[in-house]
């Protein structure tokens, strides 16, 4: 089959790569649907006014929610991103497409197996499956198959880089988006190897063939569990740059800085397994301090750098398009009705202000004493991985639909508000969970009214308020999430394919960046002028961010200092 030329971007698209992107992305959305359906049941159970599920089903559905969202949905989508950022952005053919399909099938079989055993009640061990809690061996086997598939997909991305370089399908250095995807892929390899290191022995242990140490399990499992969230960070930062380019012609201010920041991720971000062992008996303070800070916060530095360069790139892009007045015209005149841009911006704000700040704070060795296993933890990661990564991927979807699936975005009006609804819901839920958690409300707990417990615990009534707010946020996020599934599924399966002319002609259901792609390159004169102008708006934004960061950080030290002496 011959390669087609994309009428919007001018890229040469290999049909094999395109098909792999499609199937991985669709399967991701299906798993998102399972995850989001589980989410609503969980929200309605933890909101004690409803308390929907019985205890065994609460823990079962919680297991399914974690797996389907954090592993199956996210990694299927990331594999789609890799097939896109590799062969498609680099204009080359998909290498070894058959292996790509093998990878896909392995991942699908793995996900179905594990899900099957979870829903059958054979694996009520929660997402973390801490040994010696034991699940059916097939549960572990399913995850191993999934990881092998993902590893295979990742190696095909590396193969695409080599092939494109060899065949000179592009000139210069790979685009920043591909570079970011490469970081994600490298972190994925590190992560998946740890996955094998923990799940293969655990599988053998579940068959009674070997012994497992609970603390070693925790350490190695989190080298999978947390590092897989770092694949997300690298992938969604790459997608921020991608969306910035597609929606407003956002520029790369300085390749050295952005690439350097991605490289810091590769070097340091996989140390975060420590975040889960800060109040564990198995490791000492020096190990905790060094690892929890990613070697002196160098990965945090990387995120802070992207936190400047992404909005600044958007600002400069907008200024180059003529929105040049004052500090903030570039923001007031931004395409807020473009679902891709809306998702990008809301994701950036939630990830930075919500997920980022809380993450660094609760990952501080001592502050973790007042955060470990409380609702503050899911409060934090719903603002990173859901408000940050998932929302960013939703924005990408609104561009993949016309560009790769060649379909109009169904229910476009709904798509335009979806990022706001979802973002508002997740923010409200995340903030409410964070506050409830600071009263000591535990995560993963069926009944915080403790009606059957020998010694009752009466949380203050403010906690009820926060739990109700969490439920409202959860309901709102559910509406946003289910709208996303509806839009994606209806667009892909129930809308006619578009021809090149249709795409150029525009019409309803096509984001503005697709109808008229903003200029991706600029003349030296325009660049020079924009460069002289700098980023006065972004400077204010990062200033506000920095003040929030400092306040939240030291408030937590203050609260910690009021506790019992512990040491």
Partner 1 sequence: MSEEKFHSALVPAQGVWWRPVGAQEKRWIQISFVWCMLMFAMMPLWHWKGGQNPSGIRGRVVPKDYRQRTERFIQDYKVGEEKGIPVVAPPAGADIYVEASMWMWRPILHLKQGTTYVLHLSSFDINHGFSLYPMNINFQVVPGYDYGLKVTPNQAGDMRIICNEFCGVGHHIMTGKILVEK
**372: three-class secondary structure by DSSP:** coil
Q: Does the footprint of partner 1 cover residue 334 (CB under 8 A)?
A: no
DSSP annotation of 93 reads P
Nearest to 424 by CA among 352, 488, 390, 472: 472
The minimum distance between CB 495 and partner 1, in angstroms, equals 26
Instruction: Give me the helices (H) in 73-123, please.
Output: 74-83, 97-119
Q: Does the footprint of partner 1 cover residue 158 (CB under 8 A)?
A: no
Task: Give the number of other CB atoms < 10 A from CB of residue 246.
Answer: 28
The interface region with partner 1, picked from 96-104, 367-375, 383-391, 428-436 by CB under 8 A, is: 367-375
Q: Does the footprint of partner 1 cover residue 366 (CB under 8 A)?
A: yes
Interface with partner 1 in residues 65-84 (CB under 8 A): none
Q: Does the footprint of partner 1 cover residue 552 (CB under 8 A)?
A: no
Q: Does the footprint of partner 1 cover residue 166 (CB under 8 A)?
A: no
Which lies closer to partner 1 via its Cβ, residue 454 or residue 508?
A: 454
Instruction: Determine how β-strand 12-13 pairs with β-strand 4-5.
Output: antiparallel
Which lies closer to partner 1 via its Cβ, residue 316 or residue 384?
A: 316
Q: Does the footprint of partner 1 cover residue 535 (CB under 8 A)?
A: yes
**CA triple 10-417-24, angle to 5 deg:** 50
Q: Does the footprint of partner 1 cover residue 351 (CB under 8 A)?
A: no
Among 252, 274, 386, 469, binds partner 1 (CB under 8 A): 252
Task: Give the number of other CB atoms < 10 A from CB of residue 3.
Answer: 19
Q: Does the footprint of partner 1 cover residue 44 (CB under 8 A)?
A: no
Q: Does the footprint of partner 1 cover residue 521 (CB under 8 A)?
A: yes
In this structure, is the dihedral angle defined by the CA atoms of residues 317, 322, 323 and 324, taken in order, positive or negative? Answer: positive
Which lies closer to partner 1 via its Cβ, residue 240 or residue 412?
A: 240
Among 68, 191, 293, 347, binds partner 1 (CB under 8 A): 293
> What is d(CA 194, CA 190) in angstroms, rounded to the nearest whole number?
6
The interface region with partner 1, picked from 43-51, 191-199, 489-497, 522-530 by CB under 8 A, is: 522-530
Q: Counting every residue, how long is the chain?
A: 567
Among 1, 49, 171, 494, binds partner 1 (CB under 8 A): 171
State residue 5 phi and psi, 5-degree precision.
-105, 125
Nearest to 381 by CA among 371, 393, 370: 371
> What is d(CA 165, CA 159) in angstroms, rounded to the nearest whole number?
10
- Tell me the per-residue interface mask from 480 to 499 with partner 1, x by CB under 8 A, - otherwise: --------------------
The interface region with partner 1, picked from 22-30, 53-61, 69-77, 111-119 by CB under 8 A, is: 53-61
The interface region with partner 1, picked from 190-198, 402-410, 481-489, 552-560 by CB under 8 A, is: 552-560
Nearest to 142 by CA among 224, 203, 77, 225: 203
Among 69, 370, 475, 514, binds partner 1 (CB under 8 A): 370
Which lies closer to partner 1 via its Cβ, residue 189 or residue 369?
A: 369
Quote the distance between the C-alpha of residue 73 and its chain's center.
Answer: 10
Q: Does the footprint of partner 1 cover residue 287 (CB under 8 A)?
A: no
Instruction: Give me the helices (H) in 6-96, please.
Output: 15-46, 55-66, 74-83
Q: What is the DSSP string of 446-468?
A: S-TT-TTSSS-----HHHHHHHH
Which lies closer to partner 1 via its Cβ, residue 37 or residue 520?
A: 520
Interface with partner 1 in residues 436-475 (CB under 8 A): 438-440, 442-448, 450, 452-457
Among 183, 191, 206, 309, binds partner 1 (CB under 8 A): 309
Torsion of CA 487, 491, 495, 496, to 10 degrees: 160
Q: Does the footprint of partner 1 cover residue 245 (CB under 8 A)?
A: yes
The minimum distance between CB 527 and partner 1, in angstroms, equals 4
């Amino acid at each position: 089959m011959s390669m087609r030329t994309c009428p919007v971007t001018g890229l040469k698209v290999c049909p094999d790569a395109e098909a792999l992107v499609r199937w991985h992305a669709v399967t991701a959305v299906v798993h998102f649907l399972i995850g989001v359906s589980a989410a609503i049941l969980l929200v309605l159970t933890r909101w004690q006014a409803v308390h929907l599920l019985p205890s065994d089903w609460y823990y079962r559905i919680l297991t399914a929610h974690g797996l389907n969202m954090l592993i199956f949905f996210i990694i299927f989508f990331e594999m789609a991103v890799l097939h896109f950022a590799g062969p498609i952005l680099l204009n080359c053919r998909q290498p070894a497409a058959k292996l790509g399909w093998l990878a896909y099938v392995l991942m699908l079989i793995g996900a179905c197996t594990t899900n099957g055993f979870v829903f059958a009640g054979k694996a009520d061990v929660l997402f973390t499956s801490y040994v010696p809690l034991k699940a059916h061996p097939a549960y572990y086997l399913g995850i191993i198959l999934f990881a092998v598939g993902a590893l295979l997909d990742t190696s095909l991305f590396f193969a695409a880089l080599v092939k494109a370089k060899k065949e000179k399908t592009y000139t210069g250095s790979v685009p920043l988006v591909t570079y970011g995807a490469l970081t994600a892929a490298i972190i994925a390899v590190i992560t998946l190897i740890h996955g094998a290191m923990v799940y293969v022995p655990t599988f053998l242990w579940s068959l009674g063939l070997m012994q497992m140490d609970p603390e070693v399990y925790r350490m190695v499992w989190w080298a999978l569990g947390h590092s897989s969230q770092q694949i997300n960070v690298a992938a969604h930062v790459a997608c921020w740059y991608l969306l910035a380019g597609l929606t407003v012609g956002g520029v790369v201010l300085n390749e050295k800085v952005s690439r350097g920041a991605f490289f810091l991720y590769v070097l340091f971000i996989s140390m975060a397994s420590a975040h889960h062992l800060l109040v564990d008996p198995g490791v000492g303070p020096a190990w905790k301090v060094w690892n929890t800070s990613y070697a002196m916060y160098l990965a945090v530095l990387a995120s802070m750098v992207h936190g400047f360069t992404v909005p600044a790139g958007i600002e400069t892009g907008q200024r180059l398009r003529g929105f040049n007045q004052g500090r903030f015209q570039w923001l007031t005149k931004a395409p807020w009705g473009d679902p891709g841009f809306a998702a990008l911006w809301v994701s950036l704000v939630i990830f930075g202000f919500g997920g980022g700040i809380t993450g660094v704070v609760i990952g501080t060795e001592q502050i973790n004493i007042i955060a470990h296993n409380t609702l503050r933890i899911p409060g934090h990661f719903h603002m990173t991985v859901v408000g940050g990564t998932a929302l960013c991927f939703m924005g990408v979807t609104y561009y993949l639909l016309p560009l790769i699936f060649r379909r109009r975005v169904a229910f476009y009006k709904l798509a335009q508000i979806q990022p706001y609804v979802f973002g508002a819901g997740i923010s409200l839920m995340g903030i409410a969970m964070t506050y409830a958690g600071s009263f000591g409300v535990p995560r993963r707990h069926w009944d915080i009214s403790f009606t059957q417990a020998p010694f009752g615990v009466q949380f203050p009534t403010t906690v009820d308020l926060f739990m109700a707010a969490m439920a409202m946020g959860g309901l709102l996020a559910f509406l946003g999430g289910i709208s996303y599934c509806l839009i994606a599924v209806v667009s892909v399966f129930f809308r006619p394919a578009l021809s090149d002319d249709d795409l150029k002609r525009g019409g309803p259901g096509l984001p503005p960046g697709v109808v008229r792609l903003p200029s991706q390159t600029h003349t030296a004169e325009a660049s020079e002028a924009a460069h002289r102008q700098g980023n006065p708006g972004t400077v204010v934004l990062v200033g506000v961010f920095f003040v929030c960061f400092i306040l939240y950080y030291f408030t937590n030290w203050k609260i910690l200092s009021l506790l019992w002496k512990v040491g």
